[in-house]
Amino acid sequence: MKWTIGALLKRATEILRERGSRSPRLDAELLLSYSLGFKSRVELYTNFDRPLTEEEVENYRKLIVRRAKGEPVAYITGRKEFFGFSFKVERGVLIPRSETELLVEVVYERVKDKEGLKIIDVGTGSGCIAISLCKLTKNKHEIIGVDISEKALKVAKENAENLSCPVEFKKSNLLKEINEKVDVVVSNPPYISFDDKRVDREVVKFEPAVALFAGKTGFEVIESLIKEAREKLKPGGFIALEFGEGQGERVKELLEERGFKGVKIFKDLSGIDRVALGVKEDV
C-alpha cells in the first residue's frame, strides 16, 4: 500500500495512543515533520495527500518505534520549543517545560524597564531561561548561566550561539563559583522528592536525575539555593524560583526565614502554584 502523509499520521497516532502517549497526534506530527525535513507542522497539512516513498515510511517507522517505547519526542528530534525559540536538547539535559515559561515572564516583568543588571540562572540546563531572558531584554542585562553538568553547559553554549545571545556559561555548584554580587537569581532547580511516586516513568527513564531529584524531602536544593542567594544578592535584588505542586507554602516560609520580603507566589496555566519571588531586604 502507498501511504499518504494524512493516512500515515492517522495510523501513527493510533499506535502512539495505544502505547500510552498523552499527546499522540502532536507526537506523530512532530516526528513526521522532523523526519521529512519540514520547517513546521503546517507543511504536513499543505501536503496532506502526498504519497510517501518506502524509504520515507521506513525512516518514520523507526522514530515511531522509539516514541512508542517512551522516548520523549524532544530527544528524538533533538529540539524543543520554549518561549517561541527553538532549543537544542539531548540526553543528559532536561527538556524545557512550558510551566517554566512563567518563571521567565515573572523575571522579565521586573527587569524589562531596567538596564545593566547582573542576572544568574542557576542550573541552566539547556540554557532556556537565560537565553529567553536575553532575547526578551535585547541584551540590556548581563546574564550568566551556571550548571554543575558539563553536558548541560555544552548544550547551553550551542543554544546561545545558535540564537545569537551573549550569555556567559560557567560551571558551578549552585552559586559557589559566583564571586561577585548579583541583582537577580533565577532558577528552576531540582525539586522532586526521591519518594515521589507521581513522576512519569518515561521522565525517570530518559531525563537526567540530577536535574529532577533533590533528596528525601524535595526541598534540599531550594533550601541551599535560598541560603546562598541571600549572601550573593545585592540589597534590593530578588530571587525567582520554580517549585513543584504543593511546595508553595514551604518555599514561601523558607524565603521569609532567610529574610526575603514581599514574597509572592504565582500560578501556572493549570492553576497550580509554581513560582516564588522574594526581594532581599534593603540594608
Binding residues vs ligand GLN (CB under 6 A): 94, 96, 100, 123-126, 128-129, 188-190, 211
Q: Choose between 17 and 97: whose C-beta lies nearer to ligand GLN.
A: 97
CB of 191 to ligand GLN, least distance (A): 8
Q: Which is nearer to ligand GLN, 20 or 246 (CB)?
A: 246
Total residues belonging to the chain: 283
Q: What residues are designated binding site?
A: 123-127, 147, 188-191
| CA–CA distance, 104 with 47 (Å, rounded to integer) | 36
Shorter beta-carbon distance to ligand GLN: residue 64 or 130 = 130
Q: Which residues are annotated as a binding site for S-adenosyl-L-methionine?
A: 123-127, 147, 188
User: Taking the CA of residue 66 as centre, how many other CA atoms within 13 Å lie in the half-sphere pointing to its CB?
Assistant: 15
List the binding residues for substrate: 188-191
Residue 145 CB, shortest distance to ligand GLN, in Å, is 8
First-to-final CA distance of the chain: 75
Distance CA 141, CA 145 (A): 13
Closer of 87 and 238 to ligand GLN (Cβ): 87
Who contacts 102 (Cβ-Cβ below 8 Å, separation ≥6)? 242, 266, 268, 269, 274, 275
Rounded Cα distance, 242 and 187, in Å:
6
46/108 Cα distance (integer angstroms)? 37
Which one, 29 or 242, has the nearer CB to ligand GLN?
Answer: 242
The minimum distance between CB 154 and ligand GLN, in angstroms, equals: 14
- Please, what is the minimum distance in Å from the beta carbon of residue 121 to ligand GLN? 6
The residue nearest ligand GLN at its CB is: 125
Whole-angstrom Cα distance, residue 24 to residue 102? 25
Least spacing, CB of residue 53 vs ligand GLN, in Å: 37
- Find all residues with CB under 8 Å of 187, minimum gap 6, and list them: 121, 122, 123, 129, 225, 239, 240, 241, 242
